[in-house]
Structure formats: structure tokens, C-alpha cells
Amino acid sequence: MESFACPFPIQQYPQVLLAHGGGGKLMQQLIEKMFTVAFGPKPQDGLHDSVVLDLPKSRIAFTTDSFVVHPLFFPGGDIGSLAVYGSVNDLAMSGAKPLYLSLGFILEEGLSMQTLWGVVQSIKKAADSAGVQIVTGDTKVVDRGKGDGIYINTSGIGIIEHGFNISPGRIKSGDAVIINGDVGRHGIAIMASRAGLEFETIIESDCAPLNFSVKALLDAGIEIHCMRDLTRGGLASALNEIAQAAGYSIAVEESAVPVREDVASGCAMLGFDPLYVANEGRFALFVPEKHLGPSLEVLKKFSLGLPAAHIGRVLEERKSFVILKSFIGANRILDMISGEQLPRIC
């Protein structure tokens, strides 16, 4: 999508004012001349307190998420694209086709209108690329110094057009564990941008929509037992959550987990474990062993970095552990992290 000129009179109001969230003319002007221009509704539809949607007669998936990333713009993405892809990917992990998103802005007084317009353009571009519509929203403005620029909340609705129940409860012993690419890039991209660190290469976030790769897996007849996106807490935390919910232990080969060399170097320098670093375009997939090869073939077509990899399997034992076979061949428990290595990364 080509960048289009902001129709809002930025020269007259170069920064967000408290009045832009006060329900009066300035708020109406902000909504009508910036948000509706980018997202709709069509002028003839008018603005209303809620949107009426047509949904097929099938199961639906519903999710909500909030985004407080700092900095607002980082290599490979920004808070706008992150907000869209975050909710799209949550829906995709249920095997749903994302359709509609709501969009809630909490803006800080003094935020540059140019910055806000940049975020709005990014949201529009991300929504178009993911095939979803922004159909309703809300705007609030908080006092200067109380909001860190901008926070975003999104909620999403998608439809489930298949007969699978994709959840940890469907995991079985012997299932193959696959991830769709290299891990750790998003968290290191954020940290490098936040701290002004420079590496030999530019590390970009893996921020991307996952709904198309999930649809391709379903269209190929892959029997998906469970999926989980690898956001806060990274691969290790996601696998622990699944193991605890399913009641099975999971074995993982550390050498099989793809990590780019620059990301591994950044983690080593900063004292981070890439298995716990957040991602925004990666997910773990659990399928029967017979569907391992076909799943990897499908995911190759959607590679954004290192290719998908088979990293482990579900064990017979019902102990809810994640067991990591390290590079040196020793086994250890890969536990959940007690806190957060990197706060404010999504």
C-alpha cells in the first residue's frame, strides 16, 4: 500500500490534545478525518456505538490483546503492525480464518500527529495484508506523562471452517513438534532498538501474519492437534503451557531449534536464552508423526527466515515436563521463566 497523505489538519494540531479524547469537535474531527479515512466505515454507513456484522453459520473464535511495546517503531515492524498481527495470529492458532478486528487507542497528550498517522498507516497496511477489516474502535487521551505515547487494544473475530478441535487436549504421545522458523528475532530487535545496540547485521522482528500458513496446512489435510504462537516467554514458555494443559511431557532437541547466528550472538552478549525470547511470527505445531513430512513441506512455502524445523516429540509419560537435550547431549528440565527477560516487547 502506498503511503497516503493524512487528511487531518496536522499543521493546526501537530500534537494530540486532551480535547481529542473529550467527545467534542476535536475528537469527532480526529475520528472522521484520520481513522475513518484509513479504516472506514463508508460514509453512507455512518458512525454508531457498535457494528453489525454478518457471520456464516459456523463456529467462531474470539480474542483480545493489548500492546504496549517500546519503542513504538523498531526494525521489521511497529506497534501498529504488531497489534494487527498479534490478534490475527491468536485467531489462527485456533485454526480460525480472521475476519474482523476492533481497535482501541489510548493516546498520550503531546503525541505527535505525524507519529499517530504513521501508526495508522501501518495498521491499515497490516490489516490489508492479513485479509482482515477494522470494523469498530475507540479513542481515549490521557495526561502528558501518563501514557508513553500510545497503547493499542485489539479484539478479533474469526470463523472456524474445519471440524478439528485444535487444543492441548488433543495432543497424543508420539506427536511431532514443529516450529515454523528461527526463534528470538523479535525480542532482540526490540532490545537492540531500545538500547541503541548495533550488530554487524540489522536484526529485524519476525512480525508477520500466520493465518495463511495455517490455512495451507488445513487445506493440505494436515491433522493438527495443537498450535501455539511463541510470543512472550518464547518457545520454552509456550511448550510448558502446552505440556501442563495436555498432561504429557515433551522432549526437545536444542540443536534442532533454528536460531540465526546474529540473534544467538546478541543473546549471548546480553545474557538471554533464545528459547525464552519473544517472537511475533512463529508458532509451535503438534501433528501425528505421519504428517511430519507434509507439514514441513507446506511450511517451507511460507518461510520468513530460517525454514521450519522438527524440534521434538510428545512422550508417553504423563508428567507435564519439557525435557531439553542440550548441545552437549545432557538432558535437563526446560522450565518456565519466573519473570520476563524483556518487558514491553509486545
Strand residues in the chain grouped as ranges (E): 59-67, 73-74, 77-78, 97-108, 133-142, 150-160, 176-179, 226-229, 250-253, 283-287, 309-314, 322-325, 331-333
- Structural domain includes residue 193: yes
Predicted local confidence at residue 73, as pLDDT:
96
How far is Cα 30 from Cα 24, in angstroms, rounded to an integer?
10
Q: For residue range 91-148, what is the model confidence (pLDDT) as tens digits? A: 999 999 999 999 999 999 999 999 999 999 999 999 999 999 999 999 999 999 998 9
Same domain flag for 140 and 261 = no
Q: Who's near 37: CB < 8 A, 6+ residues apart? A: 7
Which range of residues forms the domain containing residue 185?
168-333
Name the strands in the sheet holding 309-314, side by side, starting at the edge strand that comes first in the sequence: 226-229, 283-287, 176-179, 309-314, 250-253, 322-325, 331-333
Same domain, 125 and 198: no
Same domain, 107 and 141: yes
Domain count, the chain: 2
Q: Looking at the structure, tell me whether residues 173 and 314 fall in a common domain.
A: yes
The pLDDT profile of the chain, 346 residues, written as one tens digit per residue, is 456 667 666 667 889 999 998 888 888 888 888 898 888 776 556 677 788 888 877 899 999 999 999 999 999 999 999 999 999 999 999 999 999 999 999 999 999 999 999 999 999 999 999 999 999 999 999 999 998 999 999 999 999 999 889 999 999 999 999 999 999 999 999 998 988 887 778 899 999 999 999 999 999 999 999 999 999 899 999 999 999 999 999 999 999 999 999 999 999 988 899 999 999 999 999 999 999 999 999 999 998 889 999 999 999 988 999 999 999 989 999 998 776 677 788 8
In a domain, 190, yes or no: yes
Note whether residue 7 is domain-resident: no
**Residues 35 and 52 reside in one and the same domain:** yes
d(CA 16, CA 28): 13
| 189 in the same domain as 82 | no
- The residue among 160, 182, 199 that closes a domain is 160
What CATH number is given to the structural domain containing 234? Answer: 3.90.650.10
**Among candidate residues 96, 266, 128, the one with its CA nearest the CA of residue 191:** 266
Is residue 94 one of the residues assigned to a domain? yes
Residue 340 located in a structural domain: no
For residue 312, count other CB atoms closer than 10 A to its CB: 25
The answer to whether the pTM exceeds 0.75 is yes
Shared domain for 24 and 83, answered yes or no, is yes
**Residue 288 maps to a domain:** yes
Last residue of a domain, one of 127, 160, 193: 160
Are residue 185 and residue 299 in the same domain, yes or no?
yes
Residues 121 and 148 occupy one common structural domain: yes
Q: Give the Cα separation of 282 and 308 in Å (integer).
A: 10
How deeply is 10 buried, as exposed, middle or buried, from its count of CB atoms within 10 A (0-12, 13-18, 19+)?
Answer: middle
Q: What pLDDT does 340 receive? A: 65
Joined together, the cell numbers standing for residue 165 give: 478441535
Statement to judge: residues 187 and 309 lie in one domain: yes
Rounded Cα gap, residues 227 and 95, in angstroms: 8
Last residue within a domain, chosen from 160, 185, 207: 160
Bridge partners of 150, per DSSP, are 107
Q: Could you tell me if 40 and 180 lie in one domain?
A: no
The answer to whether 255 touches 194, Cβ cutoff 8 Å, is: no
List Cβ neighbours of 275 (8 Å cut-off, separation of 6 or more). Answer: 183, 184, 234, 235, 236, 254, 257, 324, 334
Task: Tell me: do 128 and 190 sit in the same domain.
Answer: no
User: The domain that contains 99 carries what CATH number?
Assistant: 3.30.1330.10
Q: In this predicted structure, what is the pLDDT of residue 1?
A: 45
Q: Is 264 within a domain?
A: yes
For 66-94, what is each residue's pLDDT tens digit?
A: 999 999 999 999 999 999 999 999 999 99
Q: Where are the beta strands (DSSP E) in 80-220?
A: 97-108, 133-142, 150-160, 176-179
Residue 275 is assigned to a structural domain of this protein: yes
